Each structure stands twice: as structure tokens, then as C-alpha cells.
Structure 1
């Protein structure tokens, strides 16, 4: 059985994830950290070792996390990571949601849910499926494989076919919590305006760039998570051409991720940006350029950082955000 543990970590507390992973390793050595706030724990060996069921082990981990770090969590328990993730998303904070490992229980859990509830199904794919009446996981599961492949692609159709049946062959891979930084912007109402969303992204890249430069770190990649009005999410990531903490480069990558989602009229509740694979800035190579604009931007950025260090983070802002 697999436990998916989703902690209530804000951007300022995500540094707790490695400590929470170590607590989970006291129960099972097979722990995979999924930044910024999730752990996957394979407890199949622990069930035999402790002579307890998965729900009892989940309760132990919840109490330990609360006692050691004051962090609440929701836990999903299922036979594979796909189902465990979906169960954790449905579980209330402080509770455990179990999906029994039987075909009937899996179908009962999956089939009533909208197709966007399946991990990896974004608004674009959902619109395509819904246009053909495949608006629930149950209807998706009843569709022939060939039909799904014709509606999407061969690979996507196969993935949808298996996910709708609760099939996930992805193993839980033991790792250390990847070092990352994250920030989030929650809109006061469901936001449809693309310009407003991009201003939020600019504020995120400005914040992350400042935080990384303040600790002499650079990032190798960015991950954008968009949360919609129905609480579903879409996450896309991109590896940067070179490790950087330069706000202009981060903003360009964030805008490209946002454009690739083709949100159009999607009702967006929040956007979050995560800088992944952090490394010391001194070890990162920088591609030299003859472009004087890039050099000028970096010198202006350094001057702005000095002003922020002296007068506060809001002392210097991009014109778009100051308006």
C-alpha cells in the first residue's frame, strides 16, 4: 500500500519537508519527497514488520508530524501512487481516506469524478474529452482505447485508458527532499484575465529571484502550478537553458509555461511557482553574451537588490507591479 501525505505548508515553511521525510523514514525507508508539500510512502514492508494496517501507520505518521513540527496533513491510502494522490486530495486535513484494493472499490472511488480530477488531465484535454461526452472518469473508463487515442494521441490515450481504470505502474522512488523554493499568489476571485495572471507570475519571479540571490543560489528549472475554481490543478515544469537567479530569465520561462497551458477562459483561483534543483551560484556557469542589454539588466538588478536590502522588499518594484 502507498500513503500520499499532503502537508499544510506555506511557501515560508516548505523547508520542513526534509524533516518530515525523515520522520516518515522511521516507519518505512521508501519515502519519496514531492516538493513543495507532499510525501509518497511505500509501506508494504512496514505492514509486515509492524503488524499494523496502513490506516494505523498513517495515524502514527500524522501524530508524529504534528508533535514534531506542528504540521497538519491529509493522507490518502491506496494500492498505487495515482489513487493515493487522488485520495489525499479528497481527504480533509487531519483525516485519512482509504481506497480499498478491490476492483469494485476502485471503480466506486474513480467513476463519479470529473475527468479533470485525474492527475495530468489539464483544461485542454478535459475540453476535448467533454466535447465527446467523456466528462466523468466512469465514462472515460468505458471508452475503447482506440477511441481515446484518436481523440488525443497514442501516448495520451493509453495513459487516460489506464488512469481511468486506476492503473499506475509508477514506483515510489526513495530520495531526499529536492531543495526548492516556492511562492504562491491567491486571487481574491476566480481570475479569467490573462494580464492579471501574468502580473502575478511577475511578482512570483521577482520574489523568487530576490530570495535566491539573497542566499547566493541559482535554479535549474521552474514548475508552474495553476489551481482552478473546482480545486483541480495543472502543473508544468521546464528546465532552464542555464542555472540562474536572474529575474528576467525566470520571468521569461514562467510566461512560456503559462502560455503553453492555453488557459483561455479557465477560472483560475491561484498560481504558484517553484524553483527546483537549487545549487550554489558560485558553481554555476553563465553563458557570456555580447548583448549590452543583458549586462545592463543584471547591473540594475544588483542595484535594486541593494536598495531592497536597505529599505525593504517593496522599495523597488517592476513598473507593472507598481502601477
Structure 2
């Protein structure tokens, strides 16, 4: 059976959400981000024409496009809209993977027996637009890599079908930068060797690519040749990450408990960013000395930021700990995970804070996750 994999992507998602709230913003250059000292979280096509891009300091973006309007952004709204779109798509497809807050993979393999896959995907996209007002683009092909590249080529508000026999003619003239796993360093390296198009890359011997970029060389060659066996991972199977601490002696020392909770949150946040996850649900669990166990959870805007998640964790602890009994165990879990960029709350954080997180993560990567952290997380160690 031939695979039929669709990739859907909400066009300039944050910008589109803001335009739903205020139609006067339609057609105008728009930057979503965190004030003068912040960075660009998202930007409209009108600003991209001037060279504005995500993660750029807002001061620099405004020098490039002085007419742009800057909006701090509403991550809670964006998260809610993302959940709504997920529900619309999920009820219409047999297998859905939520790849990030604004993009999805759909496995429609076998559905062409009953209904044309391209027509079915078109109707799903229309359902999203009708029910949310958000623009969405998609591409349909035989695997995730080709469909994702196709979506990028179809934007804005486009749709594209790339059957198996058309994959090579579609990919060949494109820049190697279009391949998802090609970052700037790899692009510069291959460009210096004259490898700038996907066709040239597809003709480069695997051995040469392995020497140049290591073990990823074979995978890059396969993608350049339109080969990708990666399965669509069911959204309902998306994993959670968690930590628990069982005390050697039951305790009622709230300061010590909060210190341990803080340390666990920080370690999990580092894991989120290392594995490129964002979480939308925080769960705190306690077990009393009599073995009664209670949990409470918050559904939150997508984030991987320590200070944001620690605030929610401590609030949940205050709510779940209501008996004033000794505690045997404390636990924290992040669930509702989706893949995302190394994304803190770009609407609140300054360049300095984002730089601080990146520096701390580099230290933890080199010396271990316990090598550096908030003082509150070390109080009881």
C-alpha cells in the first residue's frame, strides 16, 4: 500500500491569531514579540519582505521595517487556538501527529480506497479555516520530508500534491536549505563544496557526506532523494516527562519540599529544551504519610521556560497540599508535549534572559544537569 502523508502548517500563526482579534491589522506589517529589549517571536509576510525574521532582536527588526507594529503577544490565546485546530483535525483523520504548536502530520494511507486523499485533506483544511478563521497550508506526498518541504513551497494559504513519480522533479531544483535537517552550519559547509541544490546533494556519494557531516550524512542523502520512512506518531501517544522524590523520612518542612520541587522543575525544563519539547500541562503529585495520593494540574500556554513552569508548579503545590500532614513523596510531571523550537516565553523575556538560558543549558550539557541552577533548587542538596 502506498503511503499518503499530509503536512499542515498554520500560516504565520501568531500573526493570524492577532488579526482575528483586530481586523485592522490585516495587510499591515506586524511583529509579535516582547517589547524593545525582546526578540521577534513571529512576523507577518509584510515585514519578511524587509528581512525581518523570527528570533531577531526587535530593535534590529524595527530598523529594517520602521513601519511595523509591535504586539507583545498572547500565548494563552495561541495555545487555545492550537488545541482547537488539533481537535478539528483529530476527529477527521485516522492518524494525527502534532509536530509543533502550529504544524501537523496526517497519515491518510489507504483512504484513497474510499475518498481521494488530496480532496480529503483539502476539506480538512477548509474545516480549519471555516471554524477558526485561521489560514492554513498543506502538501500531500508519500512521506513526511517531502510533504513538509511541499507545504513550505505552497505558502501562503496554499495546497500541493506531490505523487511519487513527481518527487524528484519537485525536489531537484530547490535549495538544500529547504531540507528540514539542514541548518546554517551544514548549508555553509556544503555550499563551499558547490553543493547548493537538492539535486546535487542527491548525487553526492554517501561516503563523502559521512566524512563531511558524520552519521547524519546517510540520512541527509536519503532526504535529498525523497526517501523517509519516519512514521506518523499518534498524537494521543505523545509522551510526558516526570520526576519524583521519596523522602527518607516523612516531612512537613515546606521550605525543603519547595526547594526539591524547584530543582526537579529545573531539571525537567532542561530536558524539554534539549529534546525540543514544549509542554502544555503541569501536574504536581504528593503522597501523604498514610499513603493517600493527590494530584492537581494546570493546562497552560506552551512553554519550556524554567521560571514560568516553576511558578505554576509552586501554585499547584499550594493547592494540592491541604491536609497539613507529613509528606512521603513529591512529584512533578509535564505532559501535553509538542515539538517546538528552543522557545521560552518570547513575549515576556528579554534578549538577556534568553541568552542566560542558552548559557546555562550549554553549561549543563557539558558538566551535567546538576552543575548549575537556581539557589532555591540547591537548598536541600
Give the TM interval when normalised to the shorter protein.
0.5 to 0.7
| Paired position in structure 2 for 1:134 | 195
Which one of 6, 12, 21 corresponds to residue 86 of structure 2?
21
Residue 294 (1) aligns with residue 359 (2)? no
Unaligned runs of 5+ in 1: 183-204, 226-234, 238-247, 260-286, 299-323
Q: Name the CA distance, whole Å, in 2 between partners of 1:166 and 1:57.
A: 23
Which one of 63, 66, 69 corresponds to residue 126 of structure 2?
63
Q: Name the CA distance, whole Å, in 2 between partners of 1:65 and 1:98.
A: 19
* Structure 2 residue matching 1:64: 3-state secondary structure: helix
Distance 1:25 1:297, change over 3 A: same
Q: Name the CA distance, whole Å, in 2 between partners of 1:292 and 1:5.
A: 38
Q: Name the CA distance, whole Å, in 2 between partners of 1:114 and 1:211.
A: 39
Q: Name the CA distance, whole Å, in 2 between partners of 1:39 and 1:56.
A: 17
| Paired position in structure 2 for 1:169 | 229
Unaligned runs of 5+ in 2: 15-74, 241-277, 281-302, 317-331, 344-351, 364-369
Which one of 162, 169, 176 corresponds to residue 108 of structure 1?
169
Shift of 1:36: 1.4
Q: Name the CA distance, whole Å, in 2 between partners of 1:141 and 1:76.
A: 22
Q: Is the 8 A contact 2:99 2:339 kept in 1?
A: no
| Paired position in structure 1 for 2:358 | 254
Q: Name the CA distance, whole Å, in 2 between partners of 1:65 and 1:169.
A: 28
Q: Name the CA distance, whole Å, in 1 between partners of 2:132 and 2:307.
A: 28
Distance 1:85 1:208, change over 3 A: farther
Residue 72 (1) aligns with residue 72 (2)? no
TM-score normalised to the size of structure 1?
A: 0.58
TM-score normalised to the size of structure 2?
A: 0.50
Q: Is the 8 A contact 2:100 2:339 kept in 1?
A: no
Shift of 1:296: 10
Shift of 1:92: 2.0
What is the root-mean-square deviation of aligned Cα atoms in Å?
Answer: 4.0
Q: Name the CA distance, whole Å, in 2 between partners of 1:157 and 1:130.
A: 15
Q: Is the 8 A contact 2:279 2:334 kept in 1?
A: no
Map 1:279-290; keep pairs closer than 5 Å: none
* Offset from partner CA, 1:17-54 (integer Å, 9 cap, x none): 333222223332200011210110011233223x2x22
Q: Name the CA distance, whole Å, in 1 between partners of 2:239 and 2:132.
A: 19
Distance 1:149 1:211, change over 3 A: closer
Q: Is the 8 A contact 1:224 1:254 kept in 2?
A: no
